[in-house]
Each structure stands twice: as C-alpha cells, then as structure tokens.
Amino acid sequence: MQEIKVTLTQNKKQKPPVEGLGFGNYFTDHMFLMDYYDGRGWVDPRIVPYGPLSLDPSAMCLHYGQEVFEGMKAYRRPNGGAALFRPDKNMQRLNVSNDRLCIPLIDEDFCVEAIKKLVDIDKDWIPDGENTALYIRPFIIALDPHLGVHPAKHLLFIVIMSPVGSYYKEGINPVKIYVEQKYVRAVKGGMGFTKTAGNYSASLKAQDEAEKKGYTQVLWLDGVERRYIEEVGTMNVFFKINGEVITPSLEGSILGGITRMSCIEVLRSKGYRVTERRLSLEEVVNAADNGTLEEAFGTGTAAVISPIGELIVGDREITINEGKIGEVSHLLYDTIVGIQNGTVEDTFGWVQNV
C-alpha cells in the first residue's frame, strides 16, 4: 500500500455550533489529495490543510464535466470513537461512476483506508448532536488544460469533509414532493446510475421551480414514457402499497443508493415483503384512490430517511398516511441511524471503526 504523506495545519479553524450546522456549510481542517497521470497511475496520496485548489482555467472538468463524486458519513460512537457506514460500497460505486465517465479506476481498499486516516485526523469535527454527522465528499476531477473533448490524462482525487445536520429543514418530518412531468433527469444508456455533477445540474431547473411553489423536491419519472417512477432529487424512493414495499428497480437511469440497499436488507430481515420493480405513477395514484397507498419515503446518505407526506401530481395533492411519519419510515430511521451511531447492534456487519 502506498504511504500517505501528512502535512498538518498550523491554523486550526474554530468549530461551528452544532445547532446551526445545516448541510455542507462548514469544512474541516484537512483534505485528502491524490493525482492520476497517464502512464503512472494514482500517485502521491497526501493529507494537507484544507484550502483552495489552483486550476488552469482550461482544466477539462470546468468545461465538459468529467467529474464523479460520492457521499458518505462518519458517526460519533458511544465510546467516543468514530465509524463509517459501508464505506466499501461507496468506493465500489465510485468505480462504477469512474468507468462510465472514462475516469481511471481507484484502488477501493486503499481509498477506504485513506478516508479513515483523514477522518481520524479531523475526528474532533464529528458533531455530537441528534441528526448530525461528519459528511464526507470524495470526488475526482479532470485537470488536463485542454479544450478538445477526450478523456483526461491528469486527474485529481479529493476528499473534503463537512459537519452536517439534517439535509432538509423538515428533518425527519414528512416532506412535500412535486411529481415532475415537464423535465427529465436521465435515460437508460445515459449517466443516471452514476454520481456525477451533470445529473445534479440537470435537476436544478425542476428543483428551483418546485421550491418556488413551496415543495421540497421533485419526483422524477422515466425519461422515455414519463410513466414510471425513478427517484427523488437527492434520494431513492419507496412506496408501501397494500402491504408491499416497492422501490423502482435499478435499470440504468437510477442511482443505486447505499441507504436504499440497506433499507431493503433491513426490511427483508424483519419479514417485510420488499419488491424492486417498475412502478408507474398511475399505480400510485390508483392506490391513493382506493385507500391502499399506506406510506412513501425517500432514502439517501444526506437525507437518511425522509417520509413523504404529500405528493403533488398536476393539480392534485395526494396526502399520504395523513401527512404523518409512517411505521416503516420510523423503523428504518431507528434501525439505520441506531446502527450508525452504535445504539443498535450491527448484526449486518456494516459499520467500520476508524
């Protein structure tokens, strides 16, 4: 394994108060960097003081969006230590995104170790408060100073970290979701299954319009028939209809969430019937009409579990579970957050100590 060179900061920042953290507003004292050069591979892994990068204005990531990222969290444990939740899955998914965007693959085990080392150095930044964690953002950008459209030969892998509270101002309380029927996010054969900047910039217009109407996020439909449910802005989505917990199957245009995967495993272990399949908007609306739509919620690293209290379909407002937090959302929140924080036994072996 390559040695990670560490340069510690001489100017530690003051930590923000836990109450006002929000999401992604503050950054820790250090960051991880590693370069890729064609012919040399990934080299020079290093932890350095957090600070601005110097980029050539022609750096390819700025023009063609050759970029991938991940989202994961470090949690404070009851013994004062720190832990990560399924970091191996994040690094695996990063390589899936890398492959689609012609970015050289990373050594997954090495990168998990590098992230653990960075978290250990900045572990004082893991906030200690309900619904808080240290959000970790690994990302890779293309640096070649070049305006031709080709895969880059010089790239930079970076990890930054941010102490965060809830992603939504609603916290665990139900959100209002607008079903988007004008814009689409992704199509099969595109990049919808990857975590890359372009998927998120493609979502901004719809998100902005939904927010102006007073809704939290949009629910995307498939880009071809505009019929099947895909995902919500920053989350995967689940519906409980007549006792069956349904989440859209991963067919190329949806992000394979690690929280999604974990929720499926938790629910199956507790005896719930969970199905990954195509789910049409029509089926959800019919279920609302005939009283079998029992619950809906989103899942994601940033949002954790976010119950959906209202779904806006055209002119129609569908209230789900009387706008209250449902039984399945509660169970998942308590189990997943409990495993992450160390208050619920990790029978799945998902947590890795730092």
List residues near ligand COI by CB under 6 A: 71, 200, 234, 300-302
CB of 236 to ligand COI, least distance (A): 10
Minimal distance, residue 137 CB to ligand COI, in Å: 8
Q: Give the up-direction half-sphere exposure of residue 65: CA atoms within 13 A in the CB hemisphere.
A: 12
Q: Would you state the structure tokens that stand for residue 96, as one six-digit string? A: 């899936």
User: What is the maximum span of the chain, computed from C-alpha positions, in angstroms?
Assistant: 64
Q: Closest separation between CB of residue 331 and ligand COI, Å?
A: 20
Look up residue 60 and give its two tokens: 């390819």
Q: How far is the CB of 71 from ligand COI (least distance, A)?
A: 2
Which residue type, as a one-letter code, is found at position 314? G
- Considering only CA atoms, which of 136, 103, 130, 156 is closest in space to residue 19? 130
Closer to ligand COI by Cβ: residue 234 or 329: 234
Task: Rank residues 45 and 71 by Cβ distance to ligand COI and give the closer one.
Answer: 71
- When the beta carbons of 118 and 293 are compared against ligand COI, the nearer one is 118
**Please, which residue, 194 or 321, has the CB nearer to ligand COI?**
194
**Inter-residue contact 104 to 202 (CB < 8 Å):** no
Considering the complex, what minimum distance in angstroms separates the CB of residue 203 from ligand COI?
9
**C-beta nearest to ligand COI: residue:** 71
Q: Which is nearer to ligand COI, 305 or 339 (CB)?
A: 305
Alpha carbon dihedral 191, 192, 194, 200, in 10-degree steps, equals 100
Cα–Cα distances (Å) from 292 to 46, 73, 284, 286, in that order, read 54, 35, 9, 8
